[in-house]
Structure 1
Amino acid sequence: MAGLVVLACGCQADGPSGGGGATAGGSPRVTGESPSAGTASPRARPPAVKVPAGVRASYVVFDRKLGRVVLRRETRRTYRSASVVKILLALDYMREHRVSAADRDLLGSMLRSSDDKAATEFWRRGGQAEVIRRMVPRAGLTETAPPPRDKPGFWGYTALSAEDVLRTYRYLLEKAPKPHRDFVVAQLRKSTPCGTDGFDQTFGIPSALERPWAVKQGWSGFGTLPAAPCRGGSVQSVAVPDLGLGRPVLHTTGIVGDKIVVVLTLQPAGSSFRAASARVTALTRQVYRASAG
């Protein structure tokens, strides 16, 4: 696919009116290590990626031309999804239902502007956790799990990993029915600078990397209203997953040219949205540069 497609998840509240996200162990690779970098290579090693102090981060970059991962770090660690799960919600709903014009409008708002009320409606219509149970085998997901049983309406507490977000993108681009793929990607290309809850959606890939892109961001744990309201911006057996409750999450994911880029983070407790956004944007810029080495 030409250009940059970024799927990021934006959602603030963690219950029926919003989304959430979190963390758990995986198979870590040394920060900034690229599988393609070896001692026999005549090229210089890619720059090391420095994760900000106090931040728990997982990232992966998949080169679609080469057909392989070129950079990864702790890709099987789990996080609470926040609005990243909205991609699965949209794909499941279109697969399971006849989509009306009104449905398309609501799906579009959910994908473009991270509308939490729309996500809550599709979560309800889909049978809540049943949405995840259907999409896990369809997309070949391994760490993705429904919210805790005592929080069935909290779609943002769905657990996922960077590896599974990569699988979700590959499913979207390679296996989802073409009409569904075209609709989802088209909405993400029209991502609005501000989410419906007033949070700025331009952190991470939109600010760190050049257009063209299509984005769907994710945030949780920064309060119900942003300290500085967004004004449009200038950027054109069953293991219990670790959800990182009590700390904010901020995720940016997507397709950049021929690469799929996923950056998931659990931020220090008490982080402001502005500070966390700056950290994620700087980290994303490092990850993308390192993947080109």
Structure 2
Amino acid sequence: MSSARGGAVVRSARRGAVRAGLLAAALAALVSTTATAAPAALAETPAPRPAAVQADVPAGVTAGVAVFDRQTGTFTEQLNTAGQFRSASVVKLLIALDVLWNRSPDALPAADRARIDTMLRGSDDTAASTFWSNNGSGAIVDRMVTRLGLTDTLRPPSTHPGYWGYTALSARDTVKIYRHLLDSAPAATRDYLLGNLRQSTRCATDGYDQHFGIAGSFNRPWAVKQGWSGFSSGGCTATTPTATAAAAKEPAATAARTAAGADAVDLSRPALHTTGVVGAGDRSIVAVFTLHPSGTSYGKAYTDIGRLTRSLNVPGATRPAGTWIGTWGSGVRVRAQATTASSTLTTLPAGVEVLVDCQRRGQQVSEPPYVNDWWAHLPQYGGHMTNIYLSVPENQVPGVPVC
């Protein structure tokens, strides 16, 4: 159906273990473990928290976090704000700003405007590589460091000059980039670039689901630029990038640390970053950079950065209603209706948590030895998934209302 799984005997044994464990725990806690992979849980959306509470970083994750409230001019969250991370696709903000420096978006050639659109909305690597090559490569970063007064940002190491994703970037410098865009850039530039970031597509052009972190934690309005590096599969079905464009972001999963001013930047562990603005009037700027243990799956990292982002004090943000529930299996489809005959909207990253706001009866689905006719509604995807792949023992999830 929609999952790559082991034999029936293994599935039954694993599922049995899960059920036994859950019978020993209080059902009211609504916490479960997956049948095949990452720890999963039902977790209510956290209530707003006081500014004094720091970010809740999942075990094993290295993070750099900054949340800036533009209304008060103060930071509500600061954690390792000067820590340098390889930027992955977040550097595309600097690439776009460099193209538009002292230049109106209306003056761009049609081809360049199309490249910026797809680079910011779908995080397209080919577009970024074209600008990088045509506009001086690392000199782009040098120019923007001077123009914006960035303190932690460095061009890629001399050993990898073509790899724009190896640009060093910090949470506090990212806040500066967004503050420039919001408060100093010409209105036409601000509206054009933020307009693209508001239209971020769920599936990036390289096949990764990029609506993690900010996009998954808060209701619109938001505008985001995400980054990822060091993963093998991202969930969505999309166009496969060319080898050249993909290499510009990530040449090898085993890349070593390098010198030339970037020796403090980890180039090997999987990286996942969420940055952007949130709330009416773009009140809060949020920058969350994370590194994960080697071998971490995309779904696990996606879940961890989601939990971290949801823990933050973000003034002006509103949080979607529902219950966060773990999933298991790979290639799990989200469909337009509660039936396998309806169209597939997307697939889920393997083992990721999803927000469920209600459930309904639909087509009976069989995945031996399991049979279930309950379907979960996922408001952030605008579709449904069969409850079989939710990490709970019951066919109908306790505590989740009927649609």
TM-score by length of 1: 0.78
Q: Helix, strand or coil: the match of 1:214?
A: strand
Distance 1:273 1:191, change over 3 A: same
Distance 1:255 1:229, change over 3 A: closer
Q: Helix, strand or coil: the match of 2:174?
A: helix
Amino acid at match of 1:140: G
Select between 94-103 and 134-143 the one with higher mean Cα deviation: 94-103
Residues 244-259 of structure 1 correspond to what in structure 2 (within 5 A)?
244-257=266-279, 258-259=283-284
Residue deviations 1:166-208 (CA, integer Å, cap 9, x gap): 1111111111222211110010111101000000011101111
**Aligned counterparts of 2:121 and 2:202: Cα–Cα separation in 1:** 9
Residues 67-106 of structure 1 correspond to what in structure 2 (within 5 A)?
67-95=73-101, 99-106=108-115
Amino acid at match of 2:285: I
Distance 1:275 1:131, change over 3 A: same
- The answer as to 2:135 corresponding to 1:129 is no
> Paired residue for 2:312?
287
- The answer to whether the 8 A contact 2:214-2:309 is kept is yes
- The answer as to 2:250 corresponding to 1:243 is no
Residue deviations 1:116-154 (CA, integer Å, cap 9, x gap): 000000111110001001100111100000000010100
- The answer to whether the 8 A contact 1:61-1:291 is kept is no
Q: Which has the higher strand share?
A: 2
Deviation at 1:243, TM superposition (A): 2.2
1:54 to 60, 72, 76: 60
Deviation at 1:71, TM superposition (A): 1.5
**Aligned counterparts of 1:149 and 1:48: Cα–Cα separation in 2:** 36
- The answer to whether the 8 A contact 1:109-1:115 is kept is yes
- The answer as to 2:211 corresponding to 1:186 is no
Deviation at 1:288, TM superposition (A): 3.1
- The answer to whether the 8 A contact 2:171-2:288 is kept is yes
User: Alignment RMSD, CA only?
Assistant: 2.1
- The answer to whether the 8 A contact 1:70-1:291 is kept is no
- Contiguous gaps of at least 5 residues in structure 1: 1-42, 232-237
Amino acid at match of 2:303: A
Q: Helix, strand or coil: the match of 2:197?
A: helix
> Paired residue for 2:300?
275
**Aligned counterparts of 1:222 and 1:45: Cα–Cα separation in 2:** 33
- The answer as to 2:70 corresponding to 1:64 is yes
Amino acid at match of 1:246: S
**Aligned counterparts of 1:44 and 1:262: Cα–Cα separation in 2:** 19
2:120 to 108, 111, 114: 111
**Aligned counterparts of 2:141 and 2:54: Cα–Cα separation in 1:** 35
Deviation at 1:291, TM superposition (A): 10
Amino acid at match of 2:302: S
Amino acid at match of 2:174: V
**Aligned counterparts of 1:146 and 1:73: Cα–Cα separation in 2:** 23
Deviation at 1:230, TM superposition (A): 4.4
Distance 1:241 1:182, change over 3 A: farther
Select between 49-58 and 161-170 the one with higher mean Cα deviation: 49-58
Bigger CA radius of gyration = 2
Amino acid at match of 2:112: D
Deviation at 1:255, TM superposition (A): 1.0
**Aligned counterparts of 2:270 and 2:305: Cα–Cα separation in 1:** 12
**Aligned counterparts of 1:77 and 1:60: Cα–Cα separation in 2:** 11
Identity %: 48
**Aligned counterparts of 2:214 and 2:191: Cα–Cα separation in 1:** 21
Q: Helix, strand or coil: the match of 1:260?
A: strand
Amino acid at match of 2:202: P
- The answer to whether the 8 A contact 1:194-1:200 is kept is yes
2:160 to 140, 151, 154: 151
Residue deviations 1:266-288 (CA, integer Å, cap 9, x gap): 11110000100000011000013
> Paired residue for 1:216?
225
**Aligned counterparts of 2:100 and 2:138: Cα–Cα separation in 1:** 16
- The answer as to 2:236 corresponding to 1:229 is yes
- The answer to whether the 8 A contact 1:80-1:160 is kept is yes
**Aligned counterparts of 1:169 and 1:289: Cα–Cα separation in 2:** 15
2:185 to 167, 176, 188: 176
Residue deviations 1:191-242 (CA, integer Å, cap 9, x gap): 101000000011101111111112211100003x43x3348xxxxxx74342
Number of residue pairs matched by the alignment: 242
Q: Helix, strand or coil: the match of 1:263?
A: strand
Which of the pair has the greater relative contact order for Cα pairs under 8 Å at 6+ separation? 1
> Paired residue for 2:173?
164
Q: Helix, strand or coil: the match of 1:108?
A: helix
- The answer to whether the 8 A contact 1:82-1:156 is kept is yes
**Aligned counterparts of 2:223 and 2:114: Cα–Cα separation in 1:** 18
**Aligned counterparts of 2:284 and 2:315: Cα–Cα separation in 1:** 13
Amino acid at match of 1:192: T
